[in-house]
Structure 1
Amino acid sequence: MLLKDKTVIVTGGSRGIGAAVAIGCAQHGANVVVSHHSNADEVVAAIQALGRGVVAVKGDVADPATGSLLVQAAVEHFGGVDVLVSNAGICPFHAFLDMPPETLKRTMEVNLHGAYFVTQAVANRMKEQGRGGSIIAMSSISALVGGEFQTHYTPTKAGVHSLMQSCAIALGKYGIRCNSLLPGTILTDINKDDLADLDKKAYFEKRIPLGRLGQPEDLVGPAVFLASDMAQYVTGAALLVDGGMFVNLQ
């Protein structure tokens, strides 16, 4: 119960990593505001079954107003906000030379601008509350390495990581900690089509020292740790959660 009675906002919380983290935070005693773009019924039901408070807010994180709506929901239902997990993101794989401007723009708006706007809204509320807080951005191993069909995606994840570093400085005076998680290859809806290629899937598994692709649940422990008081002196940090893939040069 590392997050007992804390209120956590999770963007992109209806599926994949976001859903796993939202449910995992509830398992550790948190009330959860689930931000989603389509439907969050399954996650809401799972959290309710744990006996924790939950509210779902539909919206587009690329819209600056969404951050304010999420904070408003947290305040109205649970009295405030203690943790933000900025997780919402998209990755429509595409070649570089003929990348449609709309694809680049939308990826930037959701992944980077969305993280910025929601972080800003939550940080302002945390400052008003005067009790600090924890902001966690879901970056990616892609912040550190390139991808042929991710020229629009990798810059956003590097940007999210950089955003947390700068926010750690800007918000430290208010007791607000800002860190990023860098997942490796995690089996989610974003890459399920890409990894349907069994040869490619086998290649990734071979590259990972722990011998398997990641599951969304693998991000729960790291997220809960950074959200909790156990990480009270951790800010501006980045934690790779990739099964050792990044360090494997073989």
Structure 2
Amino acid sequence: MLLKDKVLLVTGGSKGIGRGIAVAAARHGAKIGINFAGDEASAQSAVEEIKAAGGQAFALRGDVSKPESATAFVAAAVEAYGRLDVFVNNAGICPFHGFLDMPVETVDRTIAVNLNGAYYMCQAAANQMVKQGKGANGFAGSIVAVSSISALVGGEYQTHYTPTKAGVLSLMQSTAIALGKHGIRCNAVLPGTILTDINKDDLADLKKREYMEARIPLGRLGQPEDLAGPVIFLASDELAGYVTGASLLVDGGMFVNLQ
């Protein structure tokens, strides 16, 4: 129960990595709020899964690229639970496309969701944490952003995506400095290839999937639940109280496998 009675919000929480984090955090005692973009059925099933595990949860639809969605999400948490302790920025998109004919609309939308959305959401969360002030342990909150291994390496069909994930990593480094004096820790997790909706079409190519698996020392692609433990560790003041501005690769060893 590492997050007992903590209030945790996660963007993109109805599916994939966000849902895995939300469910695991609830099992560790957190009260959950999830943001989702459009799939009402998935959002409600996530809420039901959390409640079935004995947790509390609500879901709020919102486009993270709009600043008002961030303030509304944080306000909903305060209304439901009275405060905000942990914020997980997870929402992201990656419509695979070649570089030379990349549509302007695709570039703009990817930046708006992945980078601008992270900025607005983390800013709104931080303002609430600062307003609440530090607790008896000297902490006011924890922010964890889901960046990507793509912040460190390139991708032929991800020229619009990789810069946004590098930006999210940089955002956590800078906010760690800006918010440290307020008792707020800011860290990033960098997933490798995780089986989610974002890459299911790309990995439908059996040859590509086998190639990706062969590059991973642990011998398998990641599952959304593989991110839950690292995020809960970073969210926990007890375990990670002196960790801020850090980045944690969660990739089965893919990044270091250059041979």
Structures share fold, TM-score greater than 0.5: yes
1:52 aligns with 2:55: yes
Aligned to 2:129: 126
Is contact 2:142-2:185 (8 Å) kept?
yes
Match of 1:166 in 2: 174
Question: What secondary structure is seen at the aligned counterpart in 1 of 2:212?
Answer: helix
Deviations 1:8-37 (A, max 9, x none): 000000000000001010010000010001
1:164 counterpart letter in structure 2: M
Is structure 2 residue 209 aligned with structure 1 residue 201?
yes
In angstroms, what is the RMSD of aligned CA positions?
0.5
> Which residue of the partner structure matches residue 135 of structure 1?
143
Letter in 2 for 1:111: N
User: After TM superposition, which residue ranges in structure 1, 4 or more long, deviate above 3 angstroms?
Assistant: none
* Matched letter for residue 236 of structure 1: G
- 1:72 is matched with which residue: 55, 64, 75? 75
Matching residue within 94, 97, 100 for 1:94: 97
Give secondary structure in 2 for the equivalent of 1:137.
strand
CA contact (8 A) 2:146 2:191 kept: yes
SS in 1 for 2:213: helix
Contact 2:27-2:54 at 8 Å conserved across structures: no
Indicate the residue corresponding to 1:232 in structure 2: 241
| Alpha-carbon offset, residue 178 of structure 1 | 0.3
SS class of match (2:120) = helix
Q: Quick check: 1:249 aligned with 2:258?
A: yes
Structure 2 letter corresponding to 1:53: Q
Q: Which moved more, 1:7-16 or 1:45-54?
A: 45-54
**Does 2:36 match 1:27?**
no
Matched residues, number:
250
One-letter amino acid of the counterpart of residue 17, structure 1: I
- TM-score, length-scaled by structure 2: 0.96
- 1:52 Cα deviation (Å)? 1.6
Q: Distance in 2 between matches of 1:91 and 1:137?
A: 16
Letter in 2 for 1:48: K
TM-score (norm 1): 0.99
Percent identical residues? 67
- The Cα of 1:53 is off from its aligned counterpart by 1.4
Q: Secondary structure at the match of 1:114?
A: helix
Between the aligned partners of 1:248 and 1:51, the Cα distance in structure 2 is 40
* Counterpart Cα distance in 1 of 2:121 and 2:170: 15
